[in-house]
Structure 1
């Protein structure tokens, strides 16, 4: 059992604020993803939970017990890092077993626990090998097994897939998803990759410049972004965002006019997803094609509208030349509206 509470947690180095007033309760057995660009404070937050970084203000509680002053070894957390941090002179078996020796677990239990952990990440046939004889994906699985063998209260994973190639990332992501289902241990996972966040998380915390921007399920964050930062960060491609003005329920920007927009008159940022719009004979946008990307299951058409590049998902067989003029339907009902000052959702 491990419910984690962060109460007004901040981290400062002099005048620089790394994490600002972070408030959150992470439920027992929840898979929580901290998501954001480099320098947003996500790894610092994780390191404070692990005890590798001191908290400047606020409290961290595990099952109601304050752990701010506990050493990392006394916090019952297991970390998986971006770098695999394996011992090169030990084989896979001994790398996985090492935490049991350090924690003075009775030796009679070692073999069964090592083999259970290695089986979960499909490493049984590699137990005799040294790390130098393994691929990147296999090394990361050794690091996962070494965390699993501890049977900790909390897993902390810091960008564990970022050193893997695209295909391995997909298969290892599936493995982590399956492991979290099997192990049912509270997991905090740090990434800058929004696809990882969307596919793995029970809930996502989107961060920017040390501040939490939005907390919600992947669906909530995708469908109802709290502000333009979240809208522009989540999704592949990210949400289209266009600056314009509303007058009498009509949104207007260069090459773009949408009637039936429910916003007061004045400047506004309008957003919509590429898959919610459609290429059409006549539409709310008419602009030259900037680029065309064949994705296999669809064709992504990008147009330049004023100062923004707008993407619209078309049928996989759709073809057009760059520079040709195209129209797209953007119904008012699919649009999101944001305040141009500060970017909050209207």
Structure 2
């Protein structure tokens, strides 16, 4: 049983607060992603769970043990780092085997365990090589095999794909998803890449400036962001956010009038996703009318952007759509697809 409980977790360096009031229970075998921009506290949180960073306050419980004062080696966790952290003078076989030697596992079982781990990440034919002879993707797989080999209670993965090119990220991401499904081990994964978070996670924790902004399944966070920050961070492209005013159920901004909103009068930030809106055939059907600012061919669709006040607003059109920059377009944005946020706090209304 490897349920993890974090209770009022804190990390400070003098007056600087790195993580504040982090409360969460991570279920046994859950794949949890800590997501946020650089400096938000996600890696610090993981390092405190691993024992690589001292806790300033709060409690960490793994299974039935409080581990605040335990050394990293006594917490039964395995880490996969962004930098791979392989031993250059050892072969792939010896790199994978190393955790078994350090922990005093019966040498008679080493070969079987190493081969099993190597097969899971498709490395058997590379076992005789040294890290310098491998590609970046192969080195990352060695790091995964080394974490797998001793069958820990918890996997901790700190941005393991950020050094890989786009194609390798996709294939290695799929491999991690498949591995964690087969191994059924509680996994905490740190990333700033929202696509990784959405595709890998059972639940996502969105962080900002050391604080948790929202916890939920990828679908919950995508469909109902708790505040404007989460809305702007999740999605590709991010949610459109327009600052304006509501009066008698109608939201207005430059070139924009969206009616049928059940909201109080006053300033408001209104959001909607590019794929939920559509181009209107006639201007009379449109809530937004503005000239095209940019147009991008995506292959399966065309992304059109217009400028509303200080914001760029995007909408997806059919892949056959063609127009020049500066051409006026009409966009249909029904009230039912809109997400209202407080203009001052950013919280969902």
User: Shorter-chain-normalised TM-score: which range?
Assistant: over 0.9
Whether 1:174 aligns to 2:174 is yes
Q: Which residue of 2 aligns with 1:134?
A: 134
Whether 1:77 aligns to 2:77 is yes
Q: Which residue of 1 aligns with 2:341?
A: 338
CA shift, 1:341, in A, is: 1.1
Q: Which residue of 1 aligns with 2:39?
A: 39
Whether 1:86 aligns to 2:86 is yes
CA shift, 1:317, in A, is: 1.0
TM-superposition CA deviations, 1:139-181 (whole Å, max 9, x none)? 0000000000010000000000000000000000000000010
Secondary structure of the structure 2 residue equivalent to 1:59: strand
Q: Which residue of 1 aligns with 2:311?
A: 308
Moved more, 62-71 or 49-58: 62-71
Q: Which residue of 2 aligns with 1:161?
A: 161
Q: Which residue of 1 aligns with 2:321?
A: 318
Q: What is the rounded CA distance, in whole Å, between the counterparts of 1:10 and 1:169 in structure 2?
A: 32
Quote the RMSD (CA, aligned, Å): 0.5
Pairing of 1:48-87 with structure 2 (within 5 A): 48-87=48-87
Runs of 4+ with >3 A deviation: none
Secondary structure of the structure 2 residue equivalent to 1:86: coil
CA shift, 1:280, in A, is: 1.3
CA shift, 1:258, in A, is: 0.5
Q: What is the rounded CA distance, in whole Å, between the counterparts of 2:331 and 2:189 in structure 1?
A: 38
Aligned residues: 346
Q: Which residue of 1 aligns with 2:270?
A: 270
Pairing of 1:221-232 with structure 2 (within 5 A): 221-232=221-232
Moved more, 156-165 or 56-65: 56-65
Q: What is the rounded CA distance, in whole Å, between the counterparts of 1:18 and 1:327 in structure 2?
A: 45
CA shift, 1:128, in A, is: 0.6
TM-superposition CA deviations, 1:171-195 (whole Å, max 9, x none)? 0000000001000000000000000
Secondary structure of the structure 1 residue equivalent to 2:145: helix
CA shift, 1:232, in A, is: 0.3
CA shift, 1:62, in A, is: 1.0
CA shift, 1:64, in A, is: 2.9
Secondary structure of the structure 1 residue equivalent to 2:48: helix
Q: What is the rounded CA distance, in whole Å, between the counterparts of 1:146 and 1:215 in structure 2?
A: 30
Structure 2: runs of 5+ lacking an equivalent:
none
Pairing of 1:92-107 with structure 2 (within 5 A): 92-107=92-107
Pairing of 1:203-218 with structure 2 (within 5 A): 203-218=203-218
Q: What is the rounded CA distance, in whole Å, between the counterparts of 2:150 and 2:293 in structure 1?
A: 53
Q: Which residue of 1 aligns with 2:292?
A: 289
Secondary structure of the structure 2 residue equivalent to 1:145: helix
